[in-house]
Amino acid sequence: MTATVTRSKTATDKEIPKMIIEESRLKSLNSVKEARALLDNKVLERAKDKVDEAKNSLEGVKHVDDPKQVITTLMYDLEQLSDFMNSQEEYEEKGRPYAICLLRLPMNTSFMLKN
């Protein structure tokens, strides 16, 4: 059996901005989830590294057309979380609730990327 595929348009190497934003958002949230697990096990320095990695990865996509400012908002949220990680005690008091909210809210906000 033989199948023939006909394409009506030419392929492009250009990535769709919404896809780049969504992929970056999900990677950042995964880093927050990993950082939270580390912090819950009292591994503060490695958790800080995870949040820093997430911030650095977002720096690479700041050039993407982002009219809803998803990347900017995520950068702000990661910076806030980082500010609450000066000590394990501060994380427990302020950072943990912030991380929980950060992980729950964006899971339902991919609507931000819809037109």
Q: Each residue of 32-62: pLDDT tens digit? A: 999 999 999 999 999 999 999 999 989 888 7
- According to the model, what pLDDT value does residue 115 have? 47
Q: For 95-109, what is the mean pLDDT?
A: 79
Distance of CA 71 to the CA centre of its chain: 8
Q: What is the DSSP string of 11-80?
A: ---PPPHHHHHHHHHHHHHHHHHHHHHHHHTT-HHHHHHHHHHHHHHHHTTTTS--TT-HHHHHHHHHHH
pTM, full prediction = 0.76
Q: Nearest-CA neighbor of 28 among 69, 66, 70?
A: 70
- Quote the percentage of the chain above a pLDDT of 70: 82
> Rounded to whole angstroms, how far apart are CA atoms 85 and 90?
6
